[in-house]
Amino acid sequence: MQHLTMLTELDLSYNAIESLDSWYTKLGNVKQLHLAGNKISSLNGLHKLYSLEFLDVRDNNVSSPEDIKSVGSLPCLDHLILRGNPIRHVIEYRTKVLEHFGERAVEVKLDSRKPDQREVDTILVRLALRKAREEKEKQIQRKTLEINEQVKLVFSHRPILLFSFSVR
């Protein structure tokens, strides 16, 4: 497949595929990828398919929002089909999946439907909370580094007492 550089659409539905590891090395320019009815549980191998616009992974084994996290950063992906996956049983699965698309979540069709206003509001609140938490963690790290530097300074100016023991 790596020689098919002009390939833009690929349908590998119902082929008992279990893993997508390193698929990005073979499908660099694909825009539409149909993988319905396989045994796929994670989309990790697709994280560098920057041209991908449409992804159909219905009727697979995707069970957690974390399993699709890697495709959330794909800049062109605007249509994701997850119907028939165990993830559909996760409470608020739509908002949890769309959250991985960040600010682009409002543009993404999940199971052929864009998010409604309630979903958009939920996603934006979660993104704001995540950003605030990350900022707080950065502040704590900076403060910890400052304190460590001050401690090093204080102890670098103190004489160090060396003890030696001898056993007789």
pLDDT at 88: 94
More confident residue, 138 or 75: 75
* Paired tokens of 70: 């890697």
Handedness of CA 156, 157, 158, 161 (dihedral sign): positive
Task: Note whether 43 and 70 are within 8 A (CB).
Answer: yes
pLDDT at 3: 62
15 Cβ neighbours under 8 A, 6+ residues apart? 38
List, for residues 47-58, the tens digit of each pLDDT value. Answer: 999 999 999 999
Domains of the chain: 9-156 (3.80.10.10)
pLDDT at 11: 97
pLDDT, mean of residues 157-163 = 59
pLDDT at 36: 98
- pLDDT averaged over every residue in the chain: 89
More confident residue, 1 or 104: 104
Judged against a pLDDT cut of 80, whether residue 122 lies above it is answered with yes
Model pTM?
0.78
pLDDT band at 148 (very low <50, low <70, confident <90, very high): confident
